[in-house]
Amino acid sequence: CRFNPKDIVIEYVGEKIRHPVGDKREKTNDDCYMFALDNEYIIDATFYGNKARYINHSCDPNLKSDKLVINGETHIIFYALRHIEKAEELCFDYQFDYEEKKIECFCMAKNCKGRLN
């Protein structure tokens, strides 16, 4: 097995920006990789990031995101929910906020909710 439950797998890194800047970028960029850090900041991995930005959504995820404070700085990390085998796709539940316009889910998990929000 490659990862055991509760192992830290990867940190979500990128540019730390305020929410209004993120809203503006979201309207002007076709692809954006943003993750809310807190009520004030977003980590934007669109232009500067690592492979964590490519982790796909699943309704039956093998990863969970969490916030970890190190030396007063908040970091977004992904940790394993269960044993993850080598070459297994890494995925987590995006848990998008409820919006009237639904984003369809194609994860094909047995428990798929059919939507991301």
- What pLDDT was estimated at residue 94? 92
Cβ atoms of residues 61 and 89 within 8 Å: no
Q: Whole-model pTM above 0.85?
A: yes
Nearest alpha carbon to residue 80 among 19, 26, 2, 18:
2
Q: What is the pLDDT along the chain (117 residues), one digit of tens a residue?
A: 899 999 999 999 999 999 999 999 989 988 889 999 999 999 999 999 999 999 999 999 999 999 999 999 999 999 999 999 999 999 999 988 777 788 899 999 999 999 988
- What pLDDT was estimated at residue 101? 81
